[in-house]
């Protein structure tokens, strides 16, 4: 009997292999199977019994393809060969997409910055990309034309309609006019996917493997860390050695499965990259039966490459202090059984910080000394603050500062000393303030200051010393009115001639107006065509004018205009007209027109175009370009049938055909009278 088998290649340089071939052609899952079987022997009286101990089985995973799985099976201790249990399954692999990479723009040119940036945003040129999110993860280099200093940031968001890009870090020198130039830089870890089976969900391919091939050879393999459906851009974990920037590269995206039936025990360091889990709860120290005497939690390694336990941080349950803690623990390697050595405590940034459910703060709850609260700072649900609740010394509250639901503040609730409240400052719902509620000393409230719902203020409620509020819920400077979050958000400080007489109601209504005047925007995201728009009226959600002295009713999803009166009255008084003569545009002009039947299929120029309610509907009408062709010598200056201020979406004014049709009918009537006489 041979105890060992050695396989060698008969050809130098070739790899030896074992091949198991099953000629079964069934597509049923579990068919086309092959085995490697491991057996043992057991003495049973005078009989030597052979039984299965474990098996590695290859099976077909089902369906009309070549996919497979590997099953690892072991005996549970029963001598019967049938008592094998699958403990580990590898596969199947799933090819999520295959295609060729699309063309990436690599030679971005330098352009001028536009007015309208903020501390963490920049307004790009009007000819930039028309798709939202297009430049996410791209770098942007901004140069000051005065002193040639540069700033480089990473773009974290991009809104195509406003051309506003948000960056990852605040600017050192705010680029808010055309004295600055910018250049967009292509990231080295991006590929633009291109195939008919691409997912329409962001991050669908996250954590999948992408293999890139050029000239038939797989040259690079990476893991996808993010994917944006709107741009088809996928970002990988490591920069490309040879970036796929055109369709000479092909790619394949693959995911796979590993299934473990039972417990997984790891007796040494477990290394992985970007691991995700479907578990909704993770239980630490399961099975511990001792009296609680050990710290529990997570250690975050932040090594510098030479010492993997340098600058570590932790989030633990501190058993000795009976509290959760964010800690500094430089030399903790994650193997401590007992008390973790805490060197210091770390900061915690929250969107909402609240003391609730009869909580008691015995001293002072405050955000001071240029601190930032990005969400809501509140004392709610019968909470008690024994000292002062305040935001002072140039502090910024980005959300809501409030005392609500019968809360009691025993001292002073105030925003003082040039503080900024980015959301709402209020005492609502029968709350009681025992001291003073005030915004004083040139403070700025970006939202709403109010005491509502039968609230009681025991001291003084005041807004004093030059209150300004250009970026929040209600503003009222220089005859401007803005109602709604971020209404008139970009409005510059008004002058005698600019930035005045604007009325905007709704979320982000009139968002892009900076120096414009006499504009009206009613409805969420209703806007003007430009930052300096004049006398534009946009009514309805997403309504946007194209030019000055224009009214836009609704967005491009609106199909019907309803009114109790069918006609629109417009000025036609003879006293306001001169050079009056009979029109010559009649039957001849009408004969040059082509009424058509058509089906709407909007180009993807703006968000919502591909899902427009118009798409797929058949209508009668005219082609705007054909109307232009019928007026070759600038007749449109008189007839006013085509509205082409936006060359990407040319419009027609059907009602202006009425005088021409009237003339054509008169000419036909004269012909009929002549024919009748004959």
DSSP-assigned states of every residue in 615-628: TT-EEEE--HHHHH
E strand or H helix at 427: strand 424-427
- Number of H helices and E strands in the chain, helices first, is 4, 49
- Residue 642 CA to residue 633 CA, distance in Å, equals 14
The answer to whether 57 touches 71, Cβ cutoff 8 Å, is yes
Phi, psi of 247, deg, nearest 5: -80, 15
pLDDT value of residue 407: 57
Using CA atoms, how far residue 657 sits from 214, 627, 664, in Å, is 59, 11, 10
Question: pLDDT at position 373, please?
Answer: 56
The stretches in the chain having pLDDT less than 50 are 1-2, 305-306, 451-455, 457, 459-474
> Angle at Cα 65 formed by Cα 62 and Cα 67, nearest 5°?
65
Whole-number pLDDT of residue 567 = 79
Token duo for residue 55: 């098996």
How big is the chain by its Cα radius of gyration, in Å? Answer: 36
Pairing of strands 180-185, 111-112: antiparallel
44 Cβ neighbours under 8 A, 6+ residues apart: none
The side-by-side arrangement of strands in the sheet containing 372-373 is 372-373, 396-397, 420-421, 444-445
Q: How far, in Å, CA of 122 to CA of 176, rounded? A: 7
Which residues on neighbouring strands pair with residue 437, listed in sequence order?
Answer: 413, 461
Looking up tokens 């299934």 gives: 259
Smallest Cα–Cα separation from 652: which of 638, 642, 660, 662? 642
51: its two tokens? 């039984």
**Whole-structure pTM over 0.95, yes or no?**
no
SS3 589: helix
Q: What is the C-alpha to C-alpha distance for residues 488 and 612, in angstroms, rounded to an integer?
A: 28
DSSP assignment, residue 353?
E
First to last CA, the chain: 122
The per-residue pLDDT for 286 is 66
pLDDT at 477: 53
Task: Give the pLDDT score at 590.
Answer: 93
- What's the Cα-to-Cα distance from 342 to each of 130, 194, 207, 322, 456, rounded to whole Å? 51, 51, 34, 14, 45
DSSP three-state, residue 94: strand
Residue whose C-alpha is closest to residue 130's, from 167, 101, 159, 165: 159
Strand partners, 59: 69
Instruction: Show the CA angle centred on residue 582, arms to residues 576 and 587, nearest 5°.
Output: 130
- Domain boundaries in the chain? 1-82, 111-185, 296-345, 353-458, 470-555, 575-661
């Amino acid at each position: 009997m041979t105890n060992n088998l050695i396989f060698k290649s008969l050809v130098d340089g070739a790899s030896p292999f074992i091949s198991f071939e099953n000629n079964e052609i069934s597509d049923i899952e579990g068919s086309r199977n092959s085995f490697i079987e491991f057996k043992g022997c057991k003495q049973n009286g005078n009989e030597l019994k052979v039984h299965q101990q474990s098996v590695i089985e290859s099976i077909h995973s089902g369906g009309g393809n070549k996919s497979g799985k590997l099953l690892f099976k072991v005996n549970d201790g029963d001598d019967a060969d049938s008592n094998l249990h699958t403990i580990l399954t590898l596969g199947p692999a799933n090819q999520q997409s295959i295609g060729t990479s699309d063309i990436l723009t690599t030679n971005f040119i330098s352009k001028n910055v536009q007015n309208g940036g903020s501390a963490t945003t920049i307004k790009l040129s009007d000819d930039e990309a028309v798709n939202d999110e297009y430049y996410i993860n791209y770098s942007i280099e901004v140069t000051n034309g005065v002193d040639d200093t540069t700033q480089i940031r990473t773009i974290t968001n991009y809104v195509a309609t406003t051309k506003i890009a948000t960056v990852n870090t605040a600017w050192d020198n705010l680029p808010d006019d055309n004295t600055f130039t910018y250049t967009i830089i292509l990231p080295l870890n991006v590929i633009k996917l291109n195939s008919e089976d691409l997912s329409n969900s962001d991050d669908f391919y996250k954590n999948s493997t992408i293999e890139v091939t050029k000239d038939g050879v797989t040259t690079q393999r990476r893991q996808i860390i993010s994917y944006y459906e709107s741009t088809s851009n996928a970002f990988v974990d490591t920069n490309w050695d040879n970036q796929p920037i055109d369709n000479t590269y092909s790619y394949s995206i693959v995911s796979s499965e590993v299934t473990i039936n039972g417990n997984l025990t790891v007796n040494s360091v477990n290394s992985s990259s970007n691991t995700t889990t479907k578990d909704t709860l993770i239980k630490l120290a399961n099975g511990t039966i001792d009296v609680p005497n050990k710290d529990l939690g997570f250690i975050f390694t932040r090594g510098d490459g030479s010492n993997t336990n340098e600058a570590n941080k932790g989030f633990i349950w501190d058993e000795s202090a009976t509290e959760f803690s964010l800690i500094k623990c430089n030399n903790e390697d994650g193997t401590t059984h007992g008390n973790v050595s805490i060197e210091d405590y770390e900061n915690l940034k929250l969107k909402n910080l609240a003391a609730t459910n009869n909580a008691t703060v015995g001293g002072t709850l405050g955000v001071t000394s240029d601190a930032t609260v990005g969400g809501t700072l509140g004392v709610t649900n019968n909470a008690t603050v024994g000292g002062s609740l305040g935001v002072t010394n140039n502090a910024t509250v980005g959300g809501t500062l409030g005392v609500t639901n019968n809360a009691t503040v025993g001292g002073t609730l105030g925003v003082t000393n040039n503080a900024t409240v980015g959301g709402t400052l209020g005492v609502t719902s029968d709350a009681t303030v025992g001291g003073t509620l005030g915004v004083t000393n040139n403070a700025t409230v970006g939202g709403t200051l109010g005491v509502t719902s039968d609230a009681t203020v025991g001291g003084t409620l005041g807004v004093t010393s030059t209150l300004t509020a250009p970026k929040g819920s209600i503003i009222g400077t220089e005859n401007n009115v803005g109602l709604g979050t971020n209404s008139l958000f970009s409005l510059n400080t008004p002058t005698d001639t600019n930035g005045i007489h604007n009325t905007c109601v709704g979320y982000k209504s009139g968002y892009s107006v900076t120096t414009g005047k006499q504009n009206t925007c009613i409805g969420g995201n209703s806007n003007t065509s430009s930052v300096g728009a004049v006398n534009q009226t946009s009514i309805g959600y997403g309504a946007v004018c194209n030019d000055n002295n224009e009214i836009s009713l609704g967005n491009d999803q609106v199909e019907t205009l309803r009114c109790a009166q069918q006609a629109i009255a417009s000025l036609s008084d003879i006293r306001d007209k001169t050079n009056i003569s009979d029109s010559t545009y009649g039957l001849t002009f009408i004969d040059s027109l082509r009424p058509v039947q058509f089906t709407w299929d909007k180009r993807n120029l703006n968000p919502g175009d591909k899902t427009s309610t118009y798409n797929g509907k058949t209508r009668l009408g005219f082609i705007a370009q054909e109307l232009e062709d019928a007026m070759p010598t600038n007749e449109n200056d008189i007839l006013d049938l085509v509205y082409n201020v936006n060359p990407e979406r040319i419009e027609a004014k059907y009602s202006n055909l009425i005088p021409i049709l009237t003339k054509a009918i008169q000419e036909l009537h004269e012909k009929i009278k002549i024919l009748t006489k004959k």
